[in-house]
Amino acid sequence: MLKACFIICLCALQIVSVRSQSPAGDHGGSFLLHKFAQNIGREKYTVTLTDSALVYTIDFKFVDRGSPVPLNAVMRVRPDLRPISLAVKGQNSRFSSINDTVSILGQQAHIHERDTSFDKPIENVDFPVAGYAPGTVQMLMLQYWKKNGRPAEMSILPSGRVGIRLDGTDTLRFNQQEIVLERYVIAGLIWGNELAWTDKQGQMYCLITNDAEADKLEMMLEPYEALLPVLIGKAASYSMKIFASSLNKTLRPPDTIAIAGGTILDLVNGKELPDQTVLIEHGRIVWVGPSGEFRQPSSAPCFVLNAKGKIIMPGLWDMHAHFEQAEWGPAYLAAGVTSVRDCGNEFDYINAIQAAIDEGRGIGPHILKAGIIDGKGKMALGIIQADTREEAVAAVQRYKQNGFVQIKIYSSVKPAIVKAICQEAHRLGLTVTGHIPDGMNIIQGIDSGMDMVNHIEYVIAKMKINFKDQTIDLSDSSNQFLLNVLVRHHTVIDPTLAVFEMIFRSIKDPMTDIEPAFATLPPSLQELFNSMGMSAQRASSMKSYMSIAKQVVKILQDKGITLVAGTDQLLPGLSLYRELELYVEAGLSPLEALRTATVQPAKVMKLLENFGSVEAGKQADLILVDADPLENISNIRKISVVLKTGRIYSPIELHQLVGFSK
């Protein structure tokens, strides 16, 4: 990804010359666009001066895993940066488009948004902006904000408010010189916070944001791309620090805690143990037993947490996470998710996020890192790619040296390289999960050494299925062979049924059909997910696939093939509940479903000694639930208290911390 910056010194000098002028003297520039730290496109802007306005013409385009995402915009501002108009048209993700215009005349704004047009009175000159992109518009918004007294909040058009604050400065070295950049936190354009770096004149160097499909995306001023890995790591640390400053909102009990009088769900043995007490010292469970036999320790003060009428059970696991912004930390914990397997992320970002959480500088679950490796090509994802055995070995070793516990193979890895990745991973004590690469099937992936497989689609693709009548003949020899391979190799599957349900939903159906708490999500997330899905006609045609997917999950469960629950992001934290509900709809018992998010993840990740059940000697990752999920799996949504390593959290406070309304 990194460019040879020494060969473009002349360009650098030209840009410095432009920045030394006022914003009105800006002649244009370009930002390189990145996802998973991979350069996938460019945003280029030019500036022309008319008699009364500066006209910014913006061409934005990236290609994400083979799909072009083009967007064009024209922004007109007066020389003092007061906005006149903004027109944005094109795509803002692989799955969504935009066609908005805002024109300001006096104290009236005329707005065309999607298929509607309306006029809106404005008291002060609001600033028009179209979400995360284009970055040039955000740069102008920052410059305008500075010129107008740096208010804590500023109204934006078509609607909403944005909060901006100066968070500090960073001194970086580039071409053997120091660059001092101002760091800003921007809230209100996406879910959570963006981080932007500018010089004192307002020229933006870097914007770290999330695109319209909730993937992290970075914009980096040319020719400073070499600074991006440093800023990615800083963004992770600074973002986590924002929430660490709010830690005093959580209850801070003594080192000794007694959770008294609750019913323990023994998910290992399938039992309920009423009126139990759990004693915790320094974040670890030291005693579990009947409340009548409990004796408070005399050596230290003991904080008693009354659990009468509540269910005590181990914290949940999300085995298919993508921790792409700091807000996911509190959101996961609020949902009772105390451990996640991060299935592929930016190297510098996830390392910094994990370190911040582990060192107490941030809020979030335990993170088990699965390092992503893809092959080269138009569909490639990320910058860690391997097309030779030597590249594969080097990538695996780099992940091992940086605390990763697993490798994730992605879709463009060449079949011949899969075995090399698996061999080196196993040699170093790592397991291998991932997609089945193009040109392979699941049996070939397993034969090459894959221990686990992400997504039920790869099982379905190899089965003989009658989609017309939605039946699977288990007596068919090819189906028997596949199932026997999965059993013999102890292959682990995370089905991600909730992802398919979301993709195949009709956009005319209310989101509350999937998530009853949808109205509590931040507005930016509601808007994002409301537009996710397909037409009613297409959704109807995909019902057979969802029916088959559920049947396959039930078949795998009945065959003793290990399932682990994962969400692949979706609704932060909450989608794990839906994943478990879908397993029960598929025919699993609530007990079997809960095991996929507790005992079984701990076992397959070789951490059963410390996690997965409520037993003495294990880490105090626990949740208190107000109703029994064995009676109704949806009761898992009624979590009232979360403990991670013995620290007590309120789900309501954690949700409010990241913009939820509860």
Evaluated on CA atoms 334, 340, 344, 348, the torsion sign reads positive
* pLDDT tens digits, 407-420: 999 999 999 999 99
338 and 310 in one domain? Answer: no
Exposure string of 476-511, with b = 16+ CB inside 10 Å and e = fewer, is eeebeebbeebeeeebbbbbbbbbbbbebbbeeeeb
The least confident of 9-23, 108-122, 302-316, 506-520 is 9-23
Mean pLDDT over each residue of the chain, to the nearest integer: 92
619 and 607 in one domain? Answer: no
164 and 133 in one domain? Answer: yes
618 and 606 in one domain? Answer: no
Q: Is residue 63 a part of any domain in this protein?
A: yes
Q: How far apart (Å, rounded) are the C-alpha atoms in residues 275 and 253?
A: 22
Q: Is residue 364 a part of any domain in this protein?
A: yes
SS3 652: helix
Structure tokens at 357: 């959480």
* pLDDT tens digits, 604-656: 999 999 999 999 999 999 999 999 999 999 999 999 999 999 999 999 999 99
Q: How far apart (Å, rounded) are the C-alpha atoms in residues 627 and 495?
A: 26
Long-range contact set of residues 626-631: C-beta below 8 Å, sequence gap at least 24? 626/309, 626/310, 626/311, 627/311, 628/263, 628/272, 628/311, 629/265, 629/311, 629/313, 629/590, 629/594, 630/265, 630/272, 630/590, 630/591, 630/594, 631/590
At residue 246, the pLDDT reads 67
* pLDDT tens digits, 541-569: 999 999 999 999 999 999 999 999 999 98
The least confident of 53-57, 125-129, 265-269 is 125-129
Per-residue pLDDT band at 466 (split at 50, 70, 90): very high
The least confident of 30-39, 431-440, 526-535 is 526-535
- State the CATH number of the domain containing residue 300: 2.30.40.10
- What's phi and psi for 230, nearest 5 deg? -65, -45
Q: Is residue 461 a part of any domain in this protein?
A: yes
- State the CATH number of the domain containing residue 395: 3.20.20.140
At residue 569, the pLDDT reads 87
* pLDDT tens digits, 62-100: 999 999 999 999 999 999 999 999 999 999 888 888 999
163 and 237 in one domain? Answer: yes
Q: Is residue 534 a part of any domain in this protein?
A: no
Instruction: For residues 386-401, give the mean pLDDT.
Output: 97
Per-residue pLDDT band at 2 (split at 50, 70, 90): very low
567 and 625 in one domain? Answer: no
- What's phi and psi for 228, nearest 5 deg? -60, -50
Looking at this protein, which amino acid is placed at residue 347? F
Residue 564: which of 336, 317, 335 has the closest Cα? 317
Q: How far apart (Å, rounded) are the C-alpha atoms in residues 307 and 649?
A: 15
658 and 598 in one domain? Answer: no
Q: How far apart (Å, rounded) are the C-alpha atoms in residues 517 and 92?
A: 26
Eight-state DSSP code of residue 563:
B
At residue 113, the pLDDT reads 86
Residue 18 has pLDDT above 50, yes or no: no
365 and 269 in one domain? Answer: no
Q: Is 10 exposed, middle or buried (0-12, 13-18, 19+ CB in 10 A)?
A: exposed
Residue 645: which of 433, 360, 318, 354 has the closest Cα? 360
Q: Is residue 526 a part of any domain in this protein?
A: no
At residue 427, the pLDDT reads 98
Radius of gyration over every alpha carbon of the chain, rounded to an integer in angstroms: 26
Q: Which domain holds residue 392?
A: 316-504+542-611
The least confident of 217-231, 244-258, 285-299 is 244-258
At residue 554, the pLDDT reads 98
At residue 378, the pLDDT reads 86
At residue 252, the pLDDT reads 55
Residue 318 has pLDDT above 50, yes or no: yes
Task: Indicate the residue among 222, 245, 268 that finishes a domain.
Answer: 245
Q: Is residue 406 a part of any domain in this protein?
A: yes
Residue 228 · residue 206 · CB < 8 Å: yes
DSSP-H helix ranges across 563-598: 575-586, 590-595
At residue 39, the pLDDT reads 94
pTM here is: 0.91
Strand partners, 264: 273, 312
Instruction: For residues 201-222, give the mean pLDDT.
Output: 93
Instruction: For residues 362-375, give the mean pLDDT.
Output: 96
Per-residue pLDDT band at 248 (split at 50, 70, 90): low
Residue 253 has pLDDT above 90, yes or no: no
Instruction: For residues 330-339, give the mean pLDDT.
Output: 97
Q: Is residue 528 a part of any domain in this protein?
A: no
At residue 20, the pLDDT reads 33
Residue 505: which of 481, 547, 475, 535 has the closest Cα? 535
SS3 647: strand
Query: What Cα–Cα distance (Å) separates residue 581 from each residue in 180, 493, 564, 585, 596?
Result: 51, 17, 14, 6, 12
At residue 106, the pLDDT reads 87
31 and 119 in one domain? Answer: yes
Q: Is 171 exposed, middle or buried (0-12, 13-18, 19+ CB in 10 A)?
A: exposed
Residue 343 has pLDDT above 90, yes or no: yes
Task: Indicate the residue among 228, 245, 262 that finishes a domain.
Answer: 245
658 and 550 in one domain? Answer: no
Q: Which of the two residues, 115 and 398, has the higher pLDDT score?
A: 398
Q: Is residue 12 a part of any domain in this protein?
A: yes
104 and 134 in one domain? Answer: yes
Task: Indicate the residue among 190, 219, 245 that finishes a domain.
Answer: 245
Q: Say how many domains are in the chain.
A: 3
551 and 497 in one domain? Answer: yes
